[in-house]
DNA sequence: TGTACATCAGTGAACGCGCGTTCACTGATGTAC
DNA sequence: TGTACATCAGTGAACGCGCGTTCACTGATGTAC
């Protein structure tokens, strides 16, 4: 028989690209099949439905990010290092696989309610867990970890969204120090390290 | 003839509610007409198409918010006051008209590229303008105003998104001081005022 | 090595459903005289 | 005040299009002997 794993990978790549560009609803099965260069029916050898295809792409990408963030959070390093590491993970994945991140940002509203509330599959939960531990250890001023997690996610995700829309230019990786510094300050972290390079954001 | 303005207002309200709950694509003309209690054809007396209905709702709501933010930015008050005022506008409108905000947050990706790059119609531009002026006046450390605007918007919009999804509870208005403080710190504002009430976010 | 068979990825015409939209019609209400 | 007319918001059956999905079929490739 022919090897289906290559076709499946191409379907996933083209679907991701088209979903990210136009959205799920505006992308038809024929669009995807055409981009891959197969007949419509071929897609149903690999995915039960269009919905399952979109859901699989979202859940896999989202869980992979959550796992990496959780692992960084459990590394035992000081809080400031963890924040920078997590933001670096986010930014480098963004730069490496922009269609995936566009897709995650764009279609989060369709799937987020179905994601398990587990730090190993849920980005929000993984980030909240990091702040919960930091507060318990005194590295961050006490407060609502969910609120601080939301603000931290916003600080990183909104510039990513602006980059997708072309309002910000250049790689996200270049912004890691600025974003990490902003997150530490906004979260009320104890004595954030001074910035090492780049256009300084001076705190008077 | 019968007065059509009442029907039009009801169509707008029900469409907004349904678009916010399910998304535009998952809401049909029949759904909206059914919720209003009119025949499908009635909608076409007030809007040329479903797309025009959705676009009108988005552009009107988005421009109204942008105008209020721009006005606050031009009030001549000190930067710290402006930030708090803008965040209060955002949070109070969120609490008062949650369907509108859910709709704006959810469907921004469909329309944002069509919004004029004018501070009187574009929330992003209005916020960027405030930071541009603050940097020129020395109230904020020099840097990329678009990046700082993105981070500030993220700090406010992400908690709003979490509230829509039920991950954060309670009114956004209650978070105005905490959000304003986070924005000022993250933006590198000169000497932010100490917080007056609520669970303190202590900066060591 | 050669032959027969089973497997299954891929095909593409066809189906039926739900959608946005149309349009001839109704009838309530404002206006002219 | 009463009558004729014009206007236009609202009706709802009907239309046609594009969509997701199906399924009988093809043929390339792996396996058994």
Q: What is the pLDDT of residues B133-156, one digit of tens each?
A: 999 999 999 999 999 999 999 999
Measured in angstroms, the CA of B109 and the nearest CA of chain A are apart by 7
Query: Do B172 and B159 meet the contact criterion of CB atoms below 8 Å apart?
Result: yes
Query: What is the predicted pLDDT for the residue at B197?
Result: 45
Tell me the per-residue pLDDT of A11-30, one tens digit each, with 9 for 90 and over.
999 999 999 999 999 999 99
* CB-based contact B150 A161, cutoff 8 Å: yes
Q: Do B151 and A159 touch (CB under 8 A)?
A: yes
Reported confidence tier of residue B202, pLDDT bands at 50, 70, 90: very low
- Nearest 10 degrees: Cα torsion A5, A10, A12, A13: 140
Q: What angle do CA A27, A32, A36 make, to 5 degrees?
A: 160
Is residue A51's beta carbon less than 7 angstroms from any atom in nucleic acid strand D? yes
Q: Distance from B173 to chain A by nearest Cα, in Å?
A: 13
CB-strand contact B29/C, under 7 Å = yes
State mean pLDDT over A65-91. 97
Q: Give the bases of strand D that a protein CB approaches within 7 Å.
A: 6-14, 18-24, 27-30
Q: What is the pLDDT of residue B170?
A: 97
Residue B69 has pLDDT above 50, yes or no: yes
Q: Smallest Cβ distance to A151: which of B142, B147, B182?
A: B182
Q: Which H helix or E strand runs over A148?
A: helix A145-164
| Amino acid B148: pLDDT | 98
Strand C contact residues in chain A (41-100), C-beta within 7 Å: 41-42, 44-46
Burial of residue A193 (CB within 10 Å: 0-12, 13-18, 19+) is: middle
Residue B56 pLDDT exceeds 90: yes
pLDDT band, very low/low/confident/very high, at B190 (cuts 50, 70, 90):
confident
A186·B109 Cβ contact <8 A = no
What is the arithmetic mean of pLDDT over B174-203? 75
Give CA–CA dist B87/A188, Å, rounded: 19
Q: Is the pLDDT of residue A198 over 90?
A: no
Residues of chain B with Cβ-Cβ distance to A183 below 8 Å are: 186
pLDDT band at B191 (very low <50, low <70, confident <90, very high): low
Q: Please list every residue in chain B whose beta carbon sits closer than 8 Å to the beta carbon of residue A173.
A: none
Is residue B200's pLDDT more than 50?
no
Q: Is the pLDDT of residue B10 over 50?
A: yes
Cα of A125 to nearest chain B Cα, Å: 10
- Nearest CB to B200: which of A110, A141, A201? A141
What number of other Cβ atoms are within 10 A of residue A92's Cβ?
14
Angle between helices B145-164 and B123-137 (to 10 degrees): 130
Cβ contacts of A174 on chain B, cutoff 8 Å: none
A11/chain B closest Cα distance in angstroms: 23
Q: Residues A131-190: pLDDT tens digits?
A: 999 999 999 999 999 999 999 999 999 999 999 999 999 999 999 999 999 999 999 997
Contact A186 B182 (CB under 8 A): yes
> Dihedral (C-alpha) B52, A25, A15, A173: value to the nearest 10 degrees?
60
Gap from A192 CA to D24 C1', in Å? 67
By three-state DSSP, how is residue A140 classified?
strand
Q: How high is the pLDDT of residue B1?
A: 53
Please list the alpha-helical segments (H only) found in B74-140: 79-96, 98-111, 123-137
Query: Could you read off the pLDDT of B154-183 as tens digits, one per residue?
Result: 999 999 999 999 999 999 999 999 999 999
Nucleotides of C under 7 A from a protein CB: 6-14, 18-24, 27-30
Query: How far is Cα of residue A130 from the mean position of the Cα atoms in its chain?
Result: 16
User: Cβ of residue B45 near strand D, that is under 7 Å?
Assistant: yes
Q: What end-to-end distance do the CA atoms of chain B give, in Å?
A: 68
Which pLDDT score, from 0 to 100, does residue A125 have?
97
Q: Beta-strand (E) ranges in A103-153?
A: none
Residue of A nearest to B114 (CA): A165
- Say how far A50 CA is from C6 C1', in Å: 30
Q: Is the pLDDT of residue A201 over 90?
A: no
């Amino acid at each position: 028989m022919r090897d289906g794993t290559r076709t499946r990978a191409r379907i996933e790549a083209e679907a991701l690209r088209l979903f990210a560009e136009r959205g799920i609803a505006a992308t038809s099965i024929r669009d995807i099949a055409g981009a891959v260069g197969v007949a419509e029916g071929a897609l149903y050898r690999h995915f039960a439905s269009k919905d399952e295809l979109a859901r699989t792409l979202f859940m896999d990408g989202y869980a992979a990010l959550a796992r990496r963030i959780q692992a960084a959070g459990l590394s035992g390093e000081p809080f400031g290092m963890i924040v920078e590491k997590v933001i670096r993970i986010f930014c480098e994945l963004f730069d490496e696989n922009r269609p995936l991140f566009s897709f995650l940002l764009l279609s989060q509203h369709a799937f987020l309610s179905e994601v398990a509330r587990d730090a190993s599959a849920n980005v929000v939960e993984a980030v909240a867990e990091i702040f919960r531990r930091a507060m318990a250890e005194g590295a961050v001023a006490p407060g609502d970890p969910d609120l601080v997690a939301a603000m931290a996610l916003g600080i990183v995700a909104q510039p990513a969204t602006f980059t997708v829309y072309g309002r910000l230019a250049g790689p996200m990786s270049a912004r890691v120090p600025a974003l990490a510094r902003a997150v530490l300050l906004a979260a009320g972290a104890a004595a954030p390290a001074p910035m090492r390079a780049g256009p300084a954001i001076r705190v008077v």
